[in-house]
Structure 1
Amino acid sequence: MILDDFDFFLPEELIAQEPLEKRDTSRLMVLDKNTGEIEHRVFKDIITYLKKGDCIVLNNTRVIPARLFGSKEGSGGKIEVLLLKRLEKDVWEVLVKPGKKAKSGANIIFGNGQLKGKVIDTTDEGGRIIRFEYEGIFEEVLDKLGEMPLPHYIKKQLKDKERYQTVYSKYEGSAAAPTAGLHFTKELLKEIEDSGVGIAYVTLHVGLGTFRPVKTEVIEEHHMHSEFYTIDDVNAEIINNAKKNKGRIISVGTTSTRTLETAADNEGRISAKSGWTDIFIYPGYKFKLVDCLITNFHLPKSTLIMLVSALAGRENVLNAYKTAVNEKYRFFSFGDAMFIR
């Protein structure tokens, strides 16, 4: 398949710049993956499509204030650093701007010297490996000095940082939010649970590899960046019991989907495990565990729209996206949602 197979026209004004006042009042497009039939609802109506015995799976990662602004020791030149993933206790893979100021051996000062970083290596994709020095607890230093890493297409300043976190976020480590989960409220989750639907949690720390553009014309040649995930015994059992009892496994977001499909065996069973995944899901992929998907509307030519197309069919998805544009749905991180059933 080629990259242009996943292109569509998206007017810039449909890119949501800020979250709605109430999380669960976003619009919800319901897409039948078998027939291509489309319904238009509001997100809190999702409960009417869930059945007793189903299981929804949420990614409970938490976004860290991963954007740091510092200066190069000696010259004082300004450098922006974006934390991508932790490799060791104080060693991170990062993106830097401008890269030419951050050659191996360069020292970067953040704040009033509360945090220092030394560039110790470069990556194949042009990133850097930085070792940090500080006093105290790294996460507390980061809270003081770091900023929330909103996607480049969001131009407005976010007033409340918690609006770029899900209400169930728990384990810090992501450079971007698992945005399909932003639509849920605590009240809606309780209502879902009370209706007999299981709720399970996985953790995948989202790196920017998920969102990096595909640069190969033949999509099969694209390589995903690896991201760390973990699933514990309790949540694996909730998922397995639902599957065993013929309930649907409803993944909330592409990150939960990639975690589940990485961890599942060929019989669709899952066990407690942790590791790194670079799974790339595109049309032709046979799903082992995931039956349905709650997701946002994604970028043209992105790995995310490819994953959605693998589940619902490329023609169905492109028709749904064309409908979403015509109906003026809001796109991307703070945008509206789609339920593929």
Structure 2
Amino acid sequence: MDVNLFDFNLPESLIAQTPLKDRTSSRLMVVDPQSNQIRHHQFKNILQFLNAGDCLVLNDTRVLPARLYGIKEETGAKVEVLLLKQEKDDQWETLVKPAKRVKNGTVLSFGDGRLTATCIKELEHGGRILEFHYEGIFYEVLDSLGEMPLPPYIKETLDEKERYQTVYAKHRGSAAAPTAGLHFTEKLLTEIEEMGVHIVYLTLHVGLGTFRPVSADKVEEHEMHAEFYQLSKGSAEKLNAVKDAGGRIIAVGTTSTRTLETIASDNDGVFKEASGWTSIFIYPGYAFKAINGMITNFHLPKSSLVMLVSALAGREFILSAYEEAVREQYRFFSFGDAMLILEGSLEHDSSEI
């Protein structure tokens, strides 16, 4: 399958550079693959498409302020470090720019020496294993010195770090936010629960690979990046109960989707307590085993995420929805608007907002 089948024209002006003040005021495109209908709403109207007994699945990962600016202790040359993955204790896999300045044994300093790091291994493509040294608690030092690792298409400065976190972010470890969840407030989540919708949490730590377009010419040749996931016993039991009762499981974001499909695929469609690394690649032709619907943002052309939503709703239908989103001036990507993909969601809806 040709990667170019998932290309579309996106004006740069539609790439959202800053978050909206009110999370729920973003727009919501509701698409129904069953009827091939599209409607336009605000995200706060999500309640009218949910039923008692349904289940929303949220990724409670927390983004690390993983971008550090420092110097080489020996020369004072400036360096930029991006934390990718904790290897063990105080050793982290990182991306370093300019990497050619950082060899084995090089010592880096951040925040006038409050945090230092020694390069202990050189990897390909600018990767380095760094061992950090500090006094106190690492994450507190990182919170004071690090910056949010915003995607490369966001050029504006983020004034509030918490605006790139979901309101339910809990477990530190992501290099990027699970952005579909940015639209929820605590108030909206309470209203959803009060109408009888179950809310279940899982964790998937989002890696930088989420920003990368597919580089292979053929979809089938693309290799996904691996990301760590975890689903608790209680969450697995709740999901199975919802499924057995005929409720719909609606994943919030592609990260929740990939985690649920990984676990369900490994266990014949049943949810079980699990943790590990997933590199599942979902594209048209995939048979979903875990979810009935998904809330997601609008994604990069030719990305694995566009392929995932196309697998759920159909490539031609999704591309026509994206064309309509461009015509209607929707905001794209991390700080942009949302899409709800759910069969039968528009059977009784005639309103447009």
Provide the C-alpha distance between the structure 2 equivalents of 1:157 and 1:5, rounded to a whole number of angstroms: 34
**Number of the residue aligned with 1:53:** 53
Give CA deviations for 1:31-77 in whole Å, capped at 9, x if unaligned: 11233210111101111011111100000011111000111121211
What are the residue-to-residue correspondences of 1:116-135 with 2, within 5 Å? 116-135=116-135
Letter in 2 for 1:163: R
**Number of the residue aligned with 2:317:** 316
Deviation at 1:123, TM superposition (A): 3.3
Percent identity between the two aligned chains: 63
What are the residue-to-residue correspondences of 1:182-221 with 2, within 5 Å? 182-221=182-221
**Number of the residue aligned with 2:249:** 249
What are the residue-to-residue correspondences of 1:92-131 with 2, within 5 Å? 92-131=92-131
Deviation at 1:252, TM superposition (A): 0.1
Deviation at 1:129, TM superposition (A): 1.6
**Number of the residue aligned with 2:237:** 237
What are the residue-to-residue correspondences of 1:246-285 with 2, within 5 Å? 246-264=246-264, 265-285=266-286
Range 330-339 or range 238-247, more displaced: 238-247
Provide runs of 4+ in structure 1 moved above 3 Å: 122-126
Give CA deviations for 1:286-316 in whole Å, capped at 9, x if unaligned: 1110110000000111111111111111111
Give CA deviations for 1:141-181 in whole Å, capped at 9, x if unaligned: 10111111111111111121111111111111111110000
Deviation at 1:339, TM superposition (A): 0.1
Give CA deviations for 1:223-256 in whole Å, capped at 9, x if unaligned: 1111111111111111111111111110000011
Letter in 2 for 1:193: E
Report the secondary structure of 2:40's partner residue. strand
Deviation at 1:266, TM superposition (A): 4.8
Q: TM-score, normalised by structure 2?
A: 0.94
Give CA deviations for 1:86-118 in whole Å, capped at 9, x if unaligned: 111211111111121123332211111121112
Letter in 1 for 2:27: R
**Number of the residue aligned with 2:84:** 84
Deviation at 1:126, TM superposition (A): 4.0
Report the secondary structure of 1:339's partner residue. strand
1:211/1:303 contact within 8 Å kept: no
Range 128-137 or range 165-174, more displaced: 128-137
Letter in 1 for 2:325: A
Stretches of structure 1 lacking an aligned partner (at least 5 in a row): none
Deviation at 1:124, TM superposition (A): 4.3
Letter in 2 for 1:166: T
Report the secondary structure of 1:139's partner residue. helix
Deviation at 1:208, TM superposition (A): 0.4
What root-mean-square deviation, in Å, do the aligned CA atoms of Structure 1 and Structure 2 show?
Answer: 1.2
1:330/1:336 contact within 8 Å kept: yes
Report the secondary structure of 2:147's partner residue. coil
2:213/2:301 contact within 8 Å kept: no
Report the secondary structure of 2:312's partner residue. helix
**Number of the residue aligned with 2:64:** 64
Stretches of structure 2 lacking an aligned partner (at least 5 in a row): 343-353
Deviation at 1:26, TM superposition (A): 0.6
Deviation at 1:267, TM superposition (A): 3.2
Q: TM-score, normalised by structure 1?
A: 0.97
Report the secondary structure of 1:140's partner residue. helix
Provide the C-alpha distance between the structure 1 equivalents of 2:187 and 2:320, rounded to a whole number of angstroms: 33
Letter in 2 for 1:313: G
**Number of the residue aligned with 2:346:** none
Provide the C-alpha distance between the structure 2 equivalents of 1:335 and 1:308, rounded to a whole number of angstroms: 16
Provide the C-alpha distance between the structure 1 equivalents of 2:79 and 2:299, rounded to a whole number of angstroms: 30
Range 288-297 or range 133-142, more displaced: 133-142
Provide the C-alpha distance between the structure 2 equivalents of 1:129 and 1:321, rounded to a whole number of angstroms: 40
Provide the C-alpha distance between the structure 2 equivalents of 1:124 and 1:261, rounded to a whole number of angstroms: 31
Provide the C-alpha distance between the structure 2 equivalents of 1:134 and 1:5, rounded to a whole number of angstroms: 49
